[in-house]
Chains A and B, each alone.
Chain A
Amino acid sequence: MRKVLEVKNVSKLYKIYKSNTDRLKEIFTKKSYHKEFIANNSISFELFEGETLGIIGVNGAGKSTILKIIAGVIEPSSGEVIRHGRVTALLELGTGFNNEMSGYENIYLNGTLIGMKRDEVAKVAKDIVEFSELGDYIHEPIKSYSSGMRMRLAFSIAIFSEPQILIVDEALSVGDAHFASKCTNALRERKKQNMSIIYVSHDLNSLKLLCDRVILLNHGEIVEEGESEDVINSYNFLISKLNDNEDKMVIKEANNSSFGTFEVEIKEVKIIGKKSKSNLISSGEESTIEVIIEAKKALKDMTVGIMIRDKFGQDIFGTNSFYQNIAIDFESNCSYLCSFDMPLNIGTGKYSITTAVHSKDNHLDNCSHWLDHATDFEVAGIEGELFAGICRLEPKIRFTKRDNQPCTE
């Protein structure tokens, strides 16, 4: 495959000066007046024709800097970027739009700004209008547009400018679901025509869906590069380390709802995917919910239960030891681990886990501890065959011709 982009040992140092005068002095003299801040440290990678490369990293990892360098908006302090073909960046959608002018005029304006010739724009103007679904609004001035309409127009222009490399930075998050999926499809379509994409997003699910390869940046350096699945898992491990301290706090403070007699107390709740080793789990992945419980008093015939809720607080799935006929007895001053192993057959999205210790099948009797929102997790990407919705029902599909209904002409 043909290389379309070579990034060779690119570093970006931001020099920090006491004043702009010092900065100016340094341009014209040999003396040094600055402290250094390293935004990118010898980054090298290549991008091939038709490939989608994802870049992830926590805030401040240097993602935007490297994108701006690739786009040519800022210059690297050392190293070089070789571009084979036009690079179009959707760094901020609609930069360079003129508010007073109509959408149609802005197609020309924005198109020439991102490097198209006038006749090239003229060729695709009609397609752009159609794709953006703006209809007659295209002749209204941009100032009357909603942010969604602006975004649709900007994205349409970018996709029809047919760049060799398209840089997409969180741009797809603006539109509604309909347009977002239209964009994703359009990106796939262009990909087949050998356009390469650099995609930066915090939406891990879309990264897994779109990217062939992902680069993980941390402190301005490439930490890992490879299959989306693996790199995203390392990314999540990185985040979980950052979050560790905060998570425990949440449980202790129990700001949402934590109640009961506390004779038996839930100390910690964790969910871990078998492959990802973190709380970012693919749909269908074997995973374990671990509930650590401390008993202060001896209690017999108790139940430990969990409930998975989606981001709207809807119950998705719940079970407990009572339903499974597992008797649980606590001795006083002992610590227990209760784990729930299961393939996580739910759709992509963010979920929370609520846990409780009580007797019988619900918490109305002898509730020792009820802990809402004990922890949360995200399902991103799907193992095995794809599906839509929140539950995987695994139907067998059969397709036959009906014998008693002959085909009619």
Chain B
Amino acid sequence: MTFGNELKEGVFISWGALRANKLRSALTTLGIVIGVVTVTLMGTAIEGLNRAFLKNISTMGADVFFVMRWSWFNHSYADWLKMRKRQPLTLAQIKAVESQLTLARAVTPVADYRAPIKYRNRTSNGVSVWGTTDQFMVTSGVTVSSGRFLSAEEADGGRPVCVIGADVATNLFQLENPIGKTVRLNQTALEVIGILEKQGNFLGEFNLDNRVILPLRQFMSTFSRYPDLRIEVKALSSAQMDEAREELRGVLRKVRRLAPGEPDDFSINQQEMIIERFNRVAGTIAAVGLFITGLALFVGGIGIMNIMFVSVAERTHEIGIRKAIGAKRRTILIQFLTEAASICLFGGLLALGIAYGLTFAVQKFLPATMSLTVVAIALLVSIFTGVASGFFPAWRAARMDPVEALRKE
């Protein structure tokens, strides 16, 4: 008997058996449905979380280095104490770095501060004020929705102009057109020359639209002579990130006059670090989440095994008949495995339908879509559950003695 024939007969028999015990089949299927729904939703949610994060982090640019005194991720309190003692980067050092780098597309110093911004009698508090140069447009990838960004001349000359974020524009100006208007920062009057495109939140923490960008020289005269500067460096190509990073490090060490063997007194941060850190955390969450939801599926599998034992027991006589007229062990095994797998496959399909509906609810929080990968995995897992939990009962059926089996009614 060919395998195809056996499978066909198996499907035929299991369909009959499932129909003959509708309530029982439905309850068993329910166990699998719950298991697969939870696993599928978990998978979808995790994927959504990842996608949300990566989309969010992409505003940073994968090919940008952020040089500062601090490393984004401190490993210990001792590290933090050491970093605290590092000397700030100076504007002269940054200029020197800029002139020596060959693998950089753009280099710009950045300093920031939190200050209220005023327009006529309106004030917006807690606005993030960034002092930088025209190159910031290249390193950060910001775009302006109206007006223009800082020009090189304005940056060099420290002109009293500024570019404002989308939220600042609506908060301060409401329906007025902000371009050409004058805002006040710390008593300094600045002319608004452009509005940034809406960018949203960064990691749900920092509102990128609540920003004011002005020339660094103007920033320094307004807020602080010696701000804690950082450097944003955009690499020439994302294919040469490692080389660019090494060159940047070398130039910085030279500019900061570090002797060979001395540790770096600066940190080069990258988007990659955040992703790495995130992946570690997300990986743990995913593993734990899938394990817990997997338990639900496991319980469903036990239900299948249980019901298959019952099914084998009450069909002992039928197994005897089949064996008497020539069914081999394999045939009986396949018959019951097919039955278990059918329950699970059916449950899996049903579960996918339900999970698909629930995905829309998840979408309220996360950019979740049910991917084909998740669908394929869910179906494979269901079939595997069926085969795995059906195997022991099926094996017992396959090994039955035909004489004994025929005697049972």
User: Do A and B form a real pair?
Assistant: no
The chain A residues found within 8 Å of chain B, CB to CB, are: none
The chain B residues found within 8 Å of chain A, CB to CB, are: none
